[in-house]
Amino acid sequence: MDVFTDPDNIETYTTGFLWILKLTVAAAIGSGVLGVLLAGMRVSPVPVLRAFGTGWVNVFRNTPLTLIIFFCYFGLYSALGLELADDIDLNNFWLGVVGLSVYTAAFVCEAIRSGINTVPVGQAEAARAIGMSFLQTLRLIVLPQAGRAVIAPLGSILIALCKNSTIVGTIGLMESSTAMKDLINANGDAVIPIFLVFAGTFAVVLIPTGYFFGWLSNRLAVKR
Amino acid sequence: MSTTDSVLYDHPGPRAKARNAVLTVVFGIGLVLLLWWIYRQFDENGIWDGPLWEPFTESETWTAYVLPGLWSTVKAAAVAMVLSLVFGVVFAVGRLSDHRWLSIPSGIVVEFFRAVPLLLMIFFIFFGIPFLTEQPMPPFWAVVIGLTLYNGSVLAEAFRAGIKAVPRGQSEAAYAIGMRKNQVMREILVPQAARAMLPVIVSQLVVLVKDTALGYIIGYTELIQNGVNTLGANFGNVVPAAIVAAIIYIVLNASLTFFAGFLERRTRRTGRAPRIKASPGTPVPAGAGAVVEPQG
């Protein structure tokens, strides 16, 4: 483990995971907001909005994230001249956040929509029968039940988002997987420890997160 | 769609119909304006210029760049799929084993590879393993091994849920007629679970096809490397090439998703295969036809 006594290497490691953390948090917020909006569109009574939501989901869910990130860099930045920050790292970071959000929002939308579909029709019918308005039905009856059903899928989407944020390394951000690649190339004699430290960090954080969401969704599950 | 409609609102009456019509027009105009704006942005930056798209009218572009790239993508996805299926079955059965020395290590392996980002794995295989073996690692195998370890682990969890979902009477009956544990697993549980898991397997294929794109990062000549990067460098049309590649991916994956949905409906109709109950916390997608795990 000599590699990790060198302060430079430690810094490479920490900056790498700091980028992952920032990407995950920013894209989680972005895709969360976007995903809820899209889900709202997909269940709305307006056909145009439904078509837009369906189109978004089909386009972005079926395109590789690598290509989306690639397009954010070469399309939005190089070709269209969209600059999101002066600093080059920060600019790449925001381009990555855009790509990750746009991609992940499609999955968030589908998770929420299937959550709404798990609520039995009778629930909403009963709510309308006692004279609740559309918004009351949605707010008091449907969403609280749907919200519990989507905890597990949203949890696995969050975990996948964290793992996917390594792909932003493609456009030159020194995130953890690029950091690991550089460390491996510089320290050919310590390949296994380097891999175990990087992969282990992900495993130590993400495996408990997965169990936590599983536990939470079991605990909050609507018992029918 | 129809279920959602009826959960959230009544059948529209005259007033609601009028309101919906107004909203349709308003949002329709907004959408058209948005699309027009995007079109203008592309236009101002010269992305619709004829010369950039001209290469796609020549057959040589397709035979020299796009199709070989697509073939490499499909090849890597197919080989990785076969290997992940084997990996998945072996580790699912291993994790369900009664012997702790088998089930615990299998569990650790599956959980570990599910938690490690695929790109990190591929980087380790491609850049790290050569230091250990003193031999260069072909990008194709780096991609395939990485994909197998990740998707195999995901499938292992799916199979495990599938095997558990086979009604208990099946294995009880098998034990009652004197079958051994091994026979019950091999001849009773796995075949039934496999049938029920078919839609999940096909959906996982979508994930695999998308994930081969990671090969671009280590220089595997798949669709993005060949059809976007190289082609774009030769003709100076990266963005049009990326749009064409995206369309190919979307068509390919949408057909696979449709096929998975078809299989799921078919399985449900005949009703002989056990149904997977999506208990919370298991990675089995709720509607098995849908790809829930958004891996790159």
Query: Smallest Cβ distance to B120: which of A63, A81, A198?
Result: A198
- Tokens encoding A131: 């004279």
- pLDDT greater at residue A29 or residue B7: A29
Q: Band of the pLDDT at B6, cuts 50, 70, 90?
A: low
Amino acid in the structure at residue B279 = S
Instruction: Indicate whether B73 pLDDT > 70.
Output: yes
- Tokens encoding B108: 């650790």
Q: Which of A105-109, B179-183, B244-248, B265-269 has the lowest mean pLDDT?
A: B265-269
Instruction: Indicate whether B9 pLDDT > 90.
Output: no
Give the span between the Cα atoms of B95 and B102, in whole angstroms. 7
Do B242 and B228 meet the contact criterion of CB atoms below 8 Å apart? yes
Do B65 and B226 meet the contact criterion of CB atoms below 8 Å apart? yes
Contact A64 B120 (CB under 8 A): no
- Tokens encoding A90: 């920060």
Helix (H, G, I), strand (E, B) or coil at B98: coil
Is residue B249 in a domain? yes
Tell me how many domains chain B contains. 1
Contact A194 B292 (CB under 8 A): no
Q: Band of the pLDDT at B58, cuts 50, 70, 90?
A: confident
Contact A181 B127 (CB under 8 A): yes
Is residue B76 in a domain? yes
Contact A64 B20 (CB under 8 A): no
Q: Band of the pLDDT at B104, cuts 50, 70, 90?
A: very high
Of B208, B210, B189, B188, residue with least CA distance to B200? B208
CA distance, residue A32 to nearest chain B CA (Å): 14
Amino acid in the structure at residue B135 = Q
Is residue B45 in a domain? no
pTM for this model (two decimals): 0.88
Contact A184 B24 (CB under 8 A): no
Q: What is the pLDDT of residue B194?
A: 83
- Residue-range domains of chain A with CATH: 2-220 (1.10.3720.10)
Q: What is the pLDDT of residue A178?
A: 92
CA distance, residue A87 to nearest chain B CA (Å): 23
Query: Smallest Cβ distance to A66: which of B6, B31, B217?
Result: B217
Q: What is the pLDDT of residue A75?
A: 85
Q: What is the pLDDT of residue B29?
A: 94
Residues of A in contact with B6 (CB under 8 A): 121, 124
Best residue in B31, B39, B48, B119 to probe A by mutation, most A CBs within 10 Å? Answer: B119
Q: Band of the pLDDT at B280, cuts 50, 70, 90?
A: very low
Instruction: Indicate whether B289 pLDDT > 80.
Output: no
Of B63, B224, B79, B193, residue with least CA distance to B140? B79
Is residue B276 in a domain? no
Give the rounded percent of residues in chain B with a pLDDT score beyond 90: 50
Is residue B18 in a domain? no
Average pLDDT over residues B239-261: 91
Average pLDDT over residues B116-136: 92
Q: Tokens 């057959």 belong to which residue?
A: B59
Shortest CA distance from B214: residue in chain A: A66
CATH code of the domain in which B117 resides:
1.10.3720.10
What angle is formed at CA B63 by the lines to CA B247 and CA B226, rounded to 5 degrees? 60
Instruction: Indicate whether B1 pLDDT > 50.
Output: no
Give every CB contact of residue B4 below 8 A, 6+ residues apart in sequence: A42, A43, A113, A116, A117
Best residue in B20, B123, B228, B239 to probe A by mutation, most A CBs within 10 Å? Answer: B123
Q: What is the pLDDT of residue A5?
A: 83
Contact B292 A157 (CB under 8 A): yes
Q: Band of the pLDDT at B276, cuts 50, 70, 90?
A: low
Shortest CA distance from B47: residue in chain A: A79
Is residue B36 in a domain? no
Q: What is the pLDDT of residue A184?
A: 92
Instruction: Indicate whether B287 pLDDT > 50.
Output: no
Q: Band of the pLDDT at B226, cuts 50, 70, 90?
A: confident
Q: What is the pLDDT of residue A109?
A: 94
Q: Kindly give the parts of chain A with pLDDT less than 50.
A: none
Domain residues for the domain of B75 are 59-166+195-270
Contact B246 A67 (CB under 8 A): yes
Instruction: Indicate whether B250 pLDDT > 60.
Output: yes
Shortest CA distance from A49: residue in chain B: B27
Best residue in B5, B6, B8 to probe A by mutation, most A CBs within 10 Å? Answer: B8
Is residue B41 in a domain? no
Rounded to the nearest integer, the mean pLDDT of chain B is 85
What was the ipTM of the complex prediction?
0.90
Query: Smallest Cβ distance to A80: which of B7, B41, B209?
Result: B41
Is residue B108 in a domain? yes
Best residue in B43, B108, B124 to probe A by mutation, most A CBs within 10 Å? Answer: B124
Q: Band of the pLDDT at B46, cuts 50, 70, 90?
A: confident
Give the rounded percent of residues in chain B with a pLDDT score beyond 70: 88
Q: What is the pLDDT of residue A4?
A: 82
Average pLDDT over residues B204-212: 91
Residues of A in contact with B281 (CB under 8 A): 152, 211, 213-215, 217-218
Q: Tokens 């009574």 belong to which residue?
A: A45
